Every structure is written in structure tokens, then in C-alpha cells.
Structure 1
């Protein structure tokens, strides 16, 4: 490949690799400074990347660490996009399930009339 073909804009590559649904979303995340290239924070959308670069960014609660393997030519299907990078992200921590406030009512349907009255009485005692 030629020298010009070995590099691609960061926002365009993130969109090619299907990390963001639209190119404007990927450009906004780069402009906000949420993406690091080789451990350096970048804010320019037109930052060029090449194979071997390591990208670090957050998606939701998870931090993604991605090594660029290839530069794509189009935004193809997901299996094609997965060949563009090597995912080096750590395994996400297991999510804890929230504990219900009322142990009798576990969020399964409506509370019975008896349970509702007991809740009302206990609140009334705390207000006195």
C-alpha cells in the first residue's frame, strides 16, 4: 500500500469499526477529548491513526482498549469491522443487582392491600 493508504482519520476509523453508530457521534467523542491514542489525549477529529496504534475510550460503563490492526476502506458488516482491531480490554466487573427497599415487595406485581396498609402505618409512626 502507499503511504497515504496506511493512515486514516480517527473519527472515520471509529465509525468504520462500528464503535459508534454515526460518524458525527464518533467525531463528537473525539472532539470532547474522550479518546486517547497511544496514551495521549486527542481532541482533533482529523488525527491520523495507523496499524499498531492503541486507542483507549469509554463506552457506557466499560473502558475499551483497542489495537488498530488494519485500516478499513468502508463501513461494512460487523464481521468485517471486527477484523480491523484487536480488543485488549479487561473483562468487565460483574454488575451487582439492586436490593429491593421493601423485602416483602420484590417488584413482582402490585402490593396487596395488607402490605400497602403496613407500609402506610410504618410511615405514619415515623412522622409522629
Structure 2
């Protein structure tokens, strides 16, 4: 399946963004039905995300809510992967900045 310009498959995004260790783990997560994109339940790994999409899913004992900030071209280092999304709190609010 070819991706449309400005989109990427959710399994590739999760793997490129280093949220899961393998692409097959990302496919399993998507097909388990526990992942939501913009509030819609996803049951296929070929579902697409775009910049601005909100992803919600359980991971390592907690619910992660992320906004896609950029689409990856490759699975780069962790510092590069961290720029692909912004962590949101449940409810759609960004975390408050730390004050020193």
C-alpha cells in the first residue's frame, strides 16, 4: 500500500518515533483495537496519520496521548524521534512547563 503525500501508516510512525521496539509490535498494537487516532478506534496497522493527528494508546502500564508534530522519513536516533510528537495529557492539554 502506498502512502498518500502528507501521511504515514500508524505502524511505521510508532516504530520510526521509537515508541515501540519493532514494527511488528506496532502492527500488533494497531490490530489489537486499543489505539485511537483522533478519537476513532483503529483495528488495522495501515491506518494513516498526518501532522496534527492525536494518538491515544496504552503503553507500558500508562495511557499515552500524543499529537503528531512531524512525519518521519526514517528511524533515526532518539533525539530525532522525540521531535516527531508532543506528549499531551489525557483531555488534550499539553503538560505545563517546568518552573525552576
Q: TM-score range by the shorter chain?
A: 0.7 to 0.9
The DSSP-based 3-state class of the residue aligned with 1:29 is: helix
Report which of the two has the higher share of strand. 2
CA RMSD of aligned residues (A): 1.5
Quote the offset at 1:78 in angstroms.
0.3
The size of the alignment, in residue pairs, is: 89
CA distance in 2 between counterparts of 1:18 and 1:35 reads 16
Structure number, greater radius of gyration: 1
Structure 1 runs (4+) deviating above 2 angstroms are none
Quote the offset at 1:5 in angstroms.
3.1
Q: Which runs of 5+ in 2 are unaligned?
A: 96-100
The higher-RCO structure (CA 8 Å, 6+ apart) is 2
Q: Which runs of 5+ in 1 are unaligned?
A: 92-128
CA distance in 2 between counterparts of 1:17 and 1:89 reads 18
